[in-house]
Structure formats: structure tokens, C-alpha cells
Amino acid sequence: YQTGGGKKDGWRRYRSSEAGCVDFGAVYDKEAMLVAYALTCVQAKKPTQTVLRLGGSGAMKVFLNGQHVYQRSGEQMAEPDSDRVPVSLREGWNELMVKVVHVPGPWSASRLWKLYVSMDEPLVWSPDRREAPR
């Protein structure tokens, strides 16, 4: 796709930290107003009720298997587990996508454009179902 600045961009493979942190500020300009998406897949051995734990510095929308499951507006510090969302995973692979908005400003949250994602259950994570262990 073409960005607002006229550049071409698209999906990029990114390895999160062990804590589940995606540092968008390391990839994109922290001083620009941007929207970014994080996509991953998580495997459940059986239908599972769990809690999706999130933390991010900007507004966000969360989609699980294409269904909108959570939304938050406003800026805040990127603290792990600051948002908790009960979710139902189906047996097999589940696609998790998070849309994050970054609005630059003088507040410190604009300097730390990060997203933390984890779940209460020990699950298998993969950026791509085709490459995930079976």
C-alpha cells in the first residue's frame, strides 16, 4: 500500500521481545501520526476461555478471528497487562490482529510507541500459521 507520505509499505516480519512487546517506535517515526497493525496467530489445543492481556501507548482496536473484541481510545503509558480482555479461543489456530494509533505530542507516551500482548494460558504463538509448529 502507499502511505500518506507517498512511500510504499506493507506487512513486515517482526520478532517481539520475550515479554511480548512490539516496539513500533523502533520501526516507524515516533514524531509522525501513524496507524500500525500487529498480527500473530495463537494455537489452542481445545476451545479455551482465557484473558488477553494488552498494554499500549495509543488508541487500539483488537480483532480475534476477524471479530472485534476490544477497543480503547486515548494515549497512555505502554504498561504490560494494563488492559485485560476475556476471549474465547477456538480449537486450532486463532488469528489475533491489533490496530494501534500513534499521535505525537509533548507527553512521554508519544516517545514510547509500544504494544504488549500476552494471554493467561500457555499457548503456541506464531507470526504465520503456515510456519507454526503442528
**For the whole model, what pTM was predicted?**
0.70
pLDDT, greater one: 90 or 40: 90
Q: What is the count of structural domains for the chain?
A: 1
Cα 25 to its chain centre, rounded Å, is: 13
Does residue 4 lie within any of the structural domains? no
Does residue 45 lie within any of the structural domains? yes
**Residue 99: exposed, middle, or buried by beta-carbon count in 10 A (0-12, 13-18, 19+)?**
middle
56-112 pLDDT, tens digit each:
777 889 999 999 999 988 766 666 667 889 999 999 999 988 888 866 654 434 344
Does residue 122 lie within any of the structural domains? yes
CATH number assigned to the domain comprising residue 81: 2.60.120.260
Q: Which domain holds residue 46?
A: 21-131
